[in-house]
Amino acid sequence: MKYLLRQALDSDIEFLLNLRDITMGKYLKDCGMPITKDAYLSRILYEFEHAKLIEVAGSSAGLFKAKFNGDSNEWYLAQIQVHPNYQNQKIASSLISMLIGKASATDSTVGLSVVKTNPAKHFYSRLGFETVGENEFEYIMQNKPNKAFM
């Protein structure tokens, strides 16, 4: 599926609040994390300057937020959420594969965290991420550069 990324704007916040509830609400609730509007807003505004809105045919379809941390030589995938109307169309795998490619070109890792109740953990594993830690609510996962090609 063809998609575009554009910088997220304050005018996108209502869409992003709804997107967070639709895509994450159940998993957050199931593991005991807050599902209030304030909690959602706090997560949306975290690293908002790196937030990209995913658009398909001019419609808002999701959120992609990744940031490079030079101290740890790691791209951190802070958020990726695709609206259910656009899921299973390879948007997320395409974006994550692009990020892995970017990281591999500079011998960087890609890190992320996934809520323990979220089945997306299996999706990340299929893309080459391994669990490297955990906390009360999340698994910490990492995709390390493929040394075989270096």
The predicted model scores a pTM of 0.93
Residue 147 binned pLDDT confidence (cut-offs 50, 70, 90): low
The parent domain of residue 32 ranges over 4-149
| CATH number of residue 33's parent domain | 3.40.630.30
How far apart CA 94 and CA 141 sit, in angstroms, is: 18
Label residue 145 by pLDDT band (50, 70, 90): confident
Q: Residue 93 belongs to what H/E stretch? A: helix 91-105
% of the chain beyond a pLDDT of 90: 95
Total structural domains in the chain? 1
pLDDT for 127 equals 96
By the 8 A CB rule, do 20 and 36 touch? no
> In Å, what is the CA distance from 109 to each residue of 70, 77, 84, 127, 143?
11, 11, 28, 13, 6
Reported confidence tier of residue 104, pLDDT bands at 50, 70, 90: very high
Indicate if the alpha-carbon torsion angle 111, 117, 120, 121 is positive or negative. positive
pLDDT value at residue 89: 95
CA–CA gap between residue 78 and residue 48 (Å, rounded): 10
pLDDT for the residue 15:
98
Q: How far apart are CA 131 and CA 65, in angstroms?
A: 20
DSSP 89: S
Sign of the Cα torsion 23, 74, 55, 128 reads negative
Q: Which tens digits make up the pLDDT trace of 120-137? A: 999 999 999 999 999 999
Convert the pLDDT of each residue in 21-67 to its tens digit: 999 999 999 999 999 999 999 999 999 999 999 999 999 999 999 99
Per-residue pLDDT of 71-91, as tens digits, reads 999 999 999 999 999 999 999
